[in-house]
Amino acid sequence: MQKNWRRRIKRENDEDEKKFKMPHSYVIIFMLLIAVSIMTYLIPANAYDRTETESGTTTVIVESYHSVEGEPVPLWEIPSYVMQGLINQADVIFPLLVIAGALEVLLSTGMFHAYCGTLAMKCKGKEKLFIPAILLLFAFIGITQSTNKFIGFAPLGVMLAATLGYDAIVGVAIVLLGVGIGFSTGILAPTTAVAQELAELQAYSGLWLRVVSFVLFYIVTAAYIIWYGERCKKYPEKSAVYGLESAQQFDLSSTQREIEKRHPLVLIVFIMSFGILMYGCITQGWGLVETAVCMFWMAFVAGLVYGYCPSDIAKNFVKGAKNMTPAALIVGLGATVSLILSSANVLDTVVYSLANVLELFPSFLKPAVMLIMNIIVNGFVTSGTGQAAVVMPVMVPLADVAGVTRQTAVLAYKFGDGFCNYVLPHASALMGFLGATGITYDRWMKFMGKLFGLWVLLGGAILTFAYFVQYS
């Protein structure tokens, strides 16, 4: 009976896929670009004047909102903007290719396969502990680091999940959402300091509620991923990537590899490199370029200690970079959205209109509405610093009038700036992770849609609490 039931479920899924097939990720992005191009004809061009603070942060002058000349972006100019977006994101695209190539060198040694197999045997019956443990590790990393830096780690997350019987979605989620929790709750994120400066607050003040938010979002996310992972282990057909051939799959038989004599040396090189990378990012402010350099040396040294000749290292490096190319290009395509809007001078119009809508709500609901507004703005500009520059100067006076503390306005900005980046089809980190693992956007949203709803509800509840306690 169970076999017949599974056949029926599979047949229904196949019929659904015949009815509607989600377009390729590139097609989704271009459809979004077309929609944005049309918007430039419909939304009037207005702008705020900008000024630079003593620390070099750009901010808008609220009283300066005025009409400006705006050039709508015609459809036929979209390819030109795409090329400009790719050029502007070169410092992200090329490091991603290097990072992917470097990790492929490590993967080709079989070191991860061997140790993952050993880990799976030791974790037999304790798989539920794996998800919260790895999620917490990346959440701590995300306190000071952005998600883009870890796109290359997506295949490793999928491999770890596969060895314990979970699907590719779980592997992506424990890395992507882990870093996302740490960064989006803004405990020590650089964008938190930028927003607080614009709100005339001390940098990283109000730490206690951001720490509480970190814990709450971590618990909700871990519980949701565990629920999803265990359900899919019991009923594989309920997996969001069930039947998806493009999703990255690892041959589980390869995880039964014996640990070779040189594998411990490769593991030591990886651990040392990761330690150096974290030290540089936290204390020296390393970005994606420095991360790629560190990973490059890691791959070279690891390849040599494993016994590879230079040609073997190069061959595997090129293979990894090639696999990352579709995901790397997505980064440039996603950046084109904000490029078109900025060129047409309509972004400030959107922010001004949202600010007027905010005034319609009672004071105790305004923090939650600020969250929604920041989510909307993030759909137009995914740069955290860029969003802070235009949103915070507008939100701060509105918050003052409504009796909402400026610290609460900053927290609403951080939630809105951060969490929606894991559902936007043009968010570079999300699409990079999906591109690197072959998961389509619609399959990801089958998993992420409910969790994002929980995030918004939780964020709104925290912000309402912040209003009543006058969070400062």
DSSP string, 77-98: GHHHHHHHHHHHTHHHHHHHHH
Give the chain's residues under pLDDT 70. Answer: 1-22, 55, 120, 124-125, 246, 248-257
Residue 65 token pair:
């909102």
Tell me the C-alpha distance between 269 and 313, whole Å.
Answer: 15
Single-letter code of the amino acid located at 423: V
Tell me the C-alpha distance between 416 and 401, whole Å.
Answer: 21
Residue 35 token pair:
């929609």
Nearest to 195 by CA among 472, 399, 392, 412: 392
Tell me the C-alpha distance between 273 and 436, whole Å.
Answer: 22
pLDDT of residue 331: 76
Query: Are the beta carbons of 178 and 135 closer than 8 angstroms?
Result: yes
pLDDT per residue as tens digits for the range 389-420: 888 888 888 888 788 899 999 999 999 988 98
pTM here? 0.82
Is residue 258 classed as helix, strand or coil in its secondary structure? coil
pLDDT of residue 7: 55
Residue positions counted in the chain: 472
pLDDT of residue 5: 47
pLDDT of residue 22: 66
pLDDT of residue 450: 95
Q: Which residues contact 443 (CB under 8 A, 6 or more apart)?
A: 22, 169, 240, 241, 244, 247
295, HSE (Cβ side, Cα atoms, 13 Å): 30
The values of phi and psi at residue 65, to 5°, are: -60, 125
Residue where the block lists tokens 């999928």: 158
The values of phi and psi at residue 82, to 5°, are: -60, -45
pLDDT of residue 4: 54
Residue 250 token pair:
């690892």
* Element containing residue 51 per DSSP (H, E): strand 46-52
pLDDT of residue 2: 46
Tell me the C-alpha distance between 198 and 193, whole Å.
Answer: 9
* Element containing residue 10 per DSSP (H, E): helix 2-19
User: What is the maximal distance between C-alpha atoms in the chain?
Assistant: 72
